Amino acid sequence: MLFVCSGAAYAYSDEAGRLFRAGSSAFQAGDYTQALAAFESALAQGMSGPALHFNIGVAAYRAGNYARAEAAFKEVANTPAMAALAYYNLGLVELKRNDPGAATRWFARVEAATQDPKLRQLAAARLGGFEAPQPSHTWFGYAGFGIGHDDNVALVSNSDVLGISDRADNFAEAQFALSMPFGEGWRIDGGVNAVDYQELDSFDQLGLQLGGRYRWHSGEWLNDAGTQVAHTMLDGSSFESRRALFIQTSRELRSDLTMRGRYRFNDIDGHDEFRGLSGRRHELSASLDWLQAAWDFRFGYLLEIGDYDDAALSATRHEVSFDAESEFATDWSILFEASRRLSSYDDNTSGNEQRTELALALTRTLTARWQVFLRYAYSNNDADTAEFDYTGNRLSAGVEATL
């Protein structure tokens, strides 16, 4: 949401206009100090209006002059039509100052100042998502429920296809997650998810997760490190247990581009007939988030190395993914997801797999907390082993809420 407005309101001299254009050119060239100086000179030459003050705030932010950015955005906040955007950017300024409490207060003011669902969603994400340092006194929650139809029910765990029913069935699914503060910089995260099929009870799943993490800044980087434990049941019986350690980091490369990286180590125990799942898995991922006009794009890469007791399940996997999301009408958004994964198994008799997944989702925002969704997903697992070669289509609809 940090960008330079293309024009300035109100009357101004030719010299002020020239300085404004020079500041815009300097900003586009990445010379934020020069851009700030030019915009300040345009202000001194008599140019006025919220657009100019917004540009000063943006240039000052990029140049690291957070005091000047704060003053400029507070001036912009006096214009009702731009107040919500100013509040959002003031929150970003406080994040740079490592003051999550002040940032939270600014982000919390966005919802009441605008009806723009995208801006409200961005502010909510800053309050509860990965990007923003979470204040020590705030808890967050998510709840979702859906129903749907799967034309080829399959059991997939740790990226492995473990069983294919070759049958269609209806299902209901539910998910709940909660994140709570635990001391300065620490949080406890927990969740439960369940899938219940109408007829194929042997594919019913119940999963429980619990973890803790610590967040800190190192320069321009925002970092998290933590641990997780999880247990999954299949048709009422223990299926697998997992313990994980992870570290992740993110950095804003520029106002519209954010980079993320993550490493996670998993220690897994398979139960009963799934004891072959016991072993270890390493996951290394990287992604770029790019905001372009009304679209939010994400490009990702994931490397997985699995070493399990059953050699036929051990594999090295490379996955590339692409997501695109946009608001296309009032209170509506559309999301497209695509991924391509190549699996090379350690056991030559298992051969290779190429898995393609496509998904399309429509979301309708009802209130600041509630929304409904409709989602279609397509999977094609092209495996050398005929037993695991399958295609599936899954359609679901439901409601979800942030708490």
Q: Please tell me the predicted confidence (pLDDT) of residue 128.
A: 66
50 three-state secondary structure: helix
Q: Would you tell me the crossing angle of helices 80-96 and 100-113 to the nearest 10 degrees? A: 160
Q: What is the mean pLDDT of each run of 10 residues along the chain (403 residues)?
A: 50 74 85 90 87 91 91 90 90 86 85 84 73 52 95 79 88 94 86 96 94 87 93 93 96 81 96 89 94 84 94 91 85 91 87 93 84 95 85 96 82
Give the domain 14-128 fold: 1.25.40
Residue 276 burial (CB count, 10 A): 16
Identical fold at 14-128 and 140-402?
A: no
pLDDT of residue 71: 92
Q: Rg of the chain's alpha carbons, rounded to an integer?
A: 24
Would you state the structure tokens that stand for residue 327, as one six-digit string? 């608001």
Q: Cα(first)–Cα(last) distance of the chain, in Å?
A: 24
48: three-class secondary structure by DSSP: coil
- Asked if the 140-402 domain carries CATH number 2.40.160.10, the reply is yes
C-alpha distances out from residue 264 to 132, 207, 250, 254, 316, Å: 21, 19, 15, 27, 15
pLDDT attached to residue 140: 76
Which residue is listed with tokens 């429509």?
362
Which residue in 91, 92, 93, 95 sits closest to 108, CA to CA? 91
- For the chain, domain boundaries: 14-128, 140-402
Amino acid 134: pLDDT? 41
pTM value is: 0.67
Q: What's the confidence (pLDDT) of residue 291?
A: 76
